[in-house]
Amino acid sequence: MTSPAPSSRLDSFSLGAIGLTLVFWASAFAGIRAGLEAFSPGHLTLYRFLVASLVLGVYALKVRLPLPSRADALRIFGLSLCGITLYHTLLNYGEQSVPAGTASLIIAAGPVITALIATRFAGERLTQLGWLGTFVSLGGVLLIVLGRGQGVAFTGGAVLILLAAVFTSIYFVFQRPLLRRMKPLDFTVWSLLLGSLPMLIFLPGFVGELRAAPLSAHLAVIYLGIFPSALAYLTWTVALSRVSASTTTSFLFVSPVLATLIAWLWLREVPGQISLIGGGVALLGVLLVNTLGRPARQTPAAQPGRTDSGAPSS
């Protein structure tokens, strides 16, 4: 199956997929916090993606999902090693020595890194207003962090989290060619299954932690595996198959806003005034990127014997 080339313009379906993903990913922070109380970072990562792989693996067997070609399987494995294995492992280990606010700010740099990579390797473009909106959103995230009373202090773990942001940006940009010939669901299944394989290096000691962990920790990790992993990666991949990487990832600046809202509704953590201002600034930046941040489309004059994309018609 060949998917349409991603656009820089949003439609309601793509926006809904992005919104659902962000809600799941924003809710993951509470689950990670609960999971780390009973599991080491490596075991938490393994457990989470074993759950996700089980859910997707059962689906793959039930529908007899076709195997990707050897070349595509190797590409998916390479991308998943970056965006699944290394991203989640580095993030969990980095957060051991990095304040939550600093980690949030570094991860929020992901859309900036994605836009830079997409501009260089995927032919995507932002106008000056688009870049301005990107950095305005990043500034809004900083205000959210400071408004929570969380300091910004860089430690050795900050390098791990920065590398995590780079690896997930690579994953987002370079999966697009595969999504032009694969269904998003097929890519998500094989990506999470293949990305989970290297995590088996964390098996030693895993069974002991499983037995010792309380029910609350198990429920938290099972939630992480089903919703912020299996389902959220699917909805995100659907969005990436329809909309350009830099456009899609610009919405990641909304995640800290949603996390603040969820903490308010769920944990009764009332946001401070600075955090509220930061949320407004972050949303303003996202709006700027997705309205005035893209070059205007130019429709070239049709030429005999050629398609709209400039390729010879067949």
pLDDT 10s digits, 46-82: 999 999 999 999 999 999 999 999 999 999 999 999 9
167 lies in a domain?
Answer: yes
49 lies in a domain?
Answer: yes
Highest mean pLDDT among 30-39, 161-170, 247-256: 161-170
- The 10 Å Cβ neighbour count of residue 311 is 8
- Two tokens at 304? 């005999």
pLDDT for residue 125: 74
Confidence of residue 43 (pLDDT cuts 50, 70, 90): very high
pLDDT for residue 99: 63
- Two tokens at 298? 């130019």
- DSSP letter at 197? G
pLDDT for residue 302: 44
Per the structure, the count of domains in the chain is 1
230 lies in a domain?
Answer: yes
| Predicted confidence (pLDDT) at residue 292 exceeds the cutoff of 70 | no
* Contact predicate 168/82, CB 8 Å: yes
Q: What is the pTM of this model?
A: 0.79
- The 10 Å Cβ neighbour count of residue 276 is 15
314 lies in a domain?
Answer: no
pLDDT for residue 252: 82
Percent of the chain with pLDDT over 90: 41
What distance in Å separates the CA atoms of residue 312 and residue 291, rounded to the nearest whole number?
32
| Predicted confidence (pLDDT) at residue 313 exceeds the cutoff of 50 | no
Give residues with Cβ within 8 angstroms of 261, minimum separation 6.
Answer: none
pLDDT for residue 188: 94
311 lies in a domain?
Answer: no
What distance in Å separates the CA atoms of residue 41 and residue 85, rounded to the nearest whole number?
12
- What would you report as the CA-atom Rg of the chain, rounded to the nearest whole angstrom? 20
290 lies in a domain?
Answer: no
Question: Which domain does 70 fall in, by range?
Answer: 12-128+153-252
Confidence of residue 268 (pLDDT cuts 50, 70, 90): low
Q: How far is CA 47 from CA 93, 163, 199, 222, 223, in A?
A: 15, 22, 9, 8, 11
241 lies in a domain?
Answer: yes
- The 10 Å Cβ neighbour count of residue 265 is 9
284 lies in a domain?
Answer: no
User: Residues 217-244: pLDDT tens digits?
Assistant: 999 999 999 999 999 999 999 999 988 8
